[in-house]
Amino acid sequence: MMRVKIKSWTASFRYPTFQSGYQPTLPVPPLSTIQGILSAARGEIVSFKEIPFVGYVFMSEGKGIDLERIYALGKTETDVMRREVLFDNTLYLYLPDEWKKYFKKPRFQLLLGRSSDIATVEKIENVELEERVNIPVGGTIVPVVSGLPGLVHALPVEFDYPTIPRRAKTVKPFTILPFPRNAAQRRRQTYSGKLLYDLEIDIGVWFYEGLHGEV
């Protein structure tokens, strides 16, 4: 399989329903953001249905709050709101080899959140991940049934785009696991089942396969 390393200065991943006055960011992107990145790279809307497997690991060096002026559509009045932003971010995407060509020359600008959160491809590599048990996982979201402790929230998996406004196709509760910061956190985020392990980044990767739009 291949691994693509994507970097960005800023990132923001909105909670699906907190959108007035203050917009917090999720600590890691939901699957729907990954869908967006894949779609931008290929140049057309991608559904997970078409992708045999996908996994990702996200890391961020910090976060802060930005003030942003919002123009109300069709009105002259503006509003200032606070938006949480993640800084100095890295996203590793694990995909089948045929995705190399899209990330070598992405069709549209890759984004880690909104249109200002511009991202670039830093490296595309072939990787061999090793299957292991009892390894830590993080920088990603996992199904709540995994039993791992984190931030539980309902998140969109995939959007359907033919309509305006776009519609959520699949939504499920997930546990959001930040990239572990120390040995204690790694221990708490250790999954007892089988996972593929990325030796270089020293983390287990949670793969979603055969999503088939159903999750």
Residues lying near other proteins in the complex (CB under 8 A): 16-22, 24, 27, 53, 70-73, 75, 79, 142-157, 163-175, 181-188, 191, 193-196, 206-212, 214-215
Smaller CB separation from other proteins, 92 or 208? 208
Rounded to a whole number of angstroms, the minimum distance from the CB of residue 188 to other proteins is 5
CB of 120 to other proteins, least distance (A): 26
In whole angstroms, the minimum distance from the beta carbon of 14 to other proteins comes to 10
CB of 31 to other proteins, least distance (A): 10
Provide the minimum distance between the beta carbon of 105 and other proteins in the complex, in angstroms, as a whole number. 28
Strand ranges inside 72-165, DSSP E:
78-95, 110-111, 118-126, 130-136, 140-143, 151-160
Q: How far is the CB of 184 from other proteins (least distance, A)?
A: 4
Strands 22-23 and 78-95: parallel
3-class DSSP state of 215: coil
State the Cα–Cα distance between residues 129 and 124, nearest whole angstrom. Answer: 15
| CA–CA separation, 36 and 54 (whole Å) | 13
Picking from 138, 150, 6, 23, the residue whose alpha carbon sits closest to that of residue 82 is 23
Bridge pairing between strands 167-177 and 140-143: antiparallel
Q: With beta carbons less than 8 A apart as the criterion, state whether 37 and 93 touch.
A: yes
- Residue 6's closest CA among 139, 122, 127? 122
Closest CB to other proteins among residues 60, 170: 170
Identity of the residue, 126 or 182, whose beta carbon is nearer to other proteins in the bound complex: 182
Nearer Cβ to other proteins (57/106): 57
Rg of the Cα atoms in the chain:
17
Closer to other proteins by CB, 21 or 105: give it. 21
Q: How far apart are CA 64 and CA 126, in angstroms?
A: 34
- Residue 104 or 166: the one with the smaller Cβ distance to other proteins is 166
